[in-house]
Structure 1
Amino acid sequence: MPIESTSPRQIWHVGFIVDQLEPAMDELSAALGLRWADIHHIKGQHLEGPAGERYLLETRVVFSLDLPLSIELIEPSPGTPNVRRGDSAFHHLGYWSDDLVAEEQHLDGLAMPCVAFRVDDDTDLRRIMLTQGPYDVLLESTNVLTSRPGLEHFYPKEAVQ
């Protein structure tokens, strides 16, 4: 069932751009008692822009495992949308959606245009979409219909995987 544009979105993670994962993980673990998934190396994958741009990702990311909200740490990938936005490490709010094309149309109507998206290799559906949100923060729509190995416990209970 598609999410109606007026229904609240289920935010499942917040993303931060950090210079190095391990020191940031150590600091947040010490402060908040967080546990972390395995570090994911992203090499040779692309984000696509709405005008046909292609951004080559060469980075590492990691998600905290603790519910209800995960923290995603991302090392910057120069020349892509995955860089710091101003002085803050805060980069994006990630939430679930079951139709990223409809979500793009909805947000574009609110003057929050698509910045980039990634297509899932197995389904040809958009896997994620980054949109220019308010306050110079990106919104990351995550498709509940595509698999995110290692992050299954964050999916909404009603999601089909």
Structure 2
Amino acid sequence: MTAFYHVCFVVPDIEQAMQDLRRAAGAEWSEPVSDRLGEWDFRIVFTAGGPPFIELIEGPSDSPWDASKGARFDHIGFWTSDVRHGSQRLEEEGMPVDFSGCLYGRPFAYHQMDSIGARIELVDVGRQASFLNRWHPGGKPMPAIDETPRS
């Protein structure tokens, strides 16, 4: 069972990145969406066609998606049954929280994984239905890492 569903790049120009990946790899895209988290306005888009997805995020300087120093590979995304317990497990494994959307009412967290030079994102599987409706209509549910504490 796998919970992996996307890779993400933060980019200074989302349209240019979409165009370049379309030309280089034939990637097809959904329409970008503007959103806000805390004090940061950002734009986000996912490839069309189903998992695994490529995600592009264009965020402002000093945000969790700051690309002011250039585009970069940012994170690998996984569904999880429990973000809090998953984050605790990753911290115990030496992967500290880099940013938590939970503080802003969004059930996801980024953890730094130095060995790959990027972050791991845990996203609550409860968000999966709305994700699929927005980015992959008609897509089948994907499994999640089971982070449910055992008694």
Name the TM tier (shorter chain): 0.7 to 0.9
Work out whether 1:138 is the aligned partner of 2:124: no
Which residue of the partner structure matches residue 40 of structure 1? 33
Q: Secondary structure at the match of 1:141?
A: strand
Q: Shift of the alpha carbon at 1:85?
A: 9.9
Q: Which of 85, 102, 110 is residue 93 of structure 2 equivalent to?
A: 110
Q: Is the 8 A contact 2:12 2:71 kept in 1?
A: no
Q: Which of 132, 135, 138 is residue 151 of structure 1 equivalent to?
A: 135
Q: Shift of the alpha carbon at 1:18?
A: 1.2
Q: Shift of the alpha carbon at 1:65?
A: 1.2
2:25 is aligned with what amino acid? L
- CA offset digits 1:71-130 (Å, max 9, x no partner): 111113211221249776101001110100010110000111112222498xx6x52111
- Percent identical across equivalent pairs? 25
CA distance in 1: counterparts of 2:60 and 2:71, whole angstroms: 16
**143-152 vs 17-26, which deviates more?**
143-152
Q: Secondary structure at the match of 1:150?
A: helix
CA distance in 2: counterparts of 1:154 and 1:143, whole angstroms: 16
Higher helix share: 2
Distance 1:119 1:155, change over 3 A: farther
CA distance in 2: counterparts of 1:102 and 1:85, whole angstroms: 33
Which 5+ residue runs of structure 2 have no aligned equivalent? Answer: 145-151
Q: Which of 70, 76, 82 is residue 65 of structure 2 equivalent to?
A: 82
Work out whether 1:98 is the aligned partner of 2:84: no
Q: Secondary structure at the match of 2:101?
A: strand
Q: Shift of the alpha carbon at 1:139?
A: 0.6
Which residue of the partner structure matches residue 128 of structure 1? 108
Number of matched pairs: 138
Q: Secondary structure at the match of 1:25?
A: helix
TM-score scaled to structure 1, two decimals? 0.74
Q: Is the 8 A contact 2:11 2:71 kept in 1?
A: no
TM-score scaled to structure 2, two decimals? 0.78
Which 5+ residue runs of structure 1 have no aligned equivalent? Answer: 1-7, 47-55
Which residue of the partner structure matches residue 5 of structure 1? none
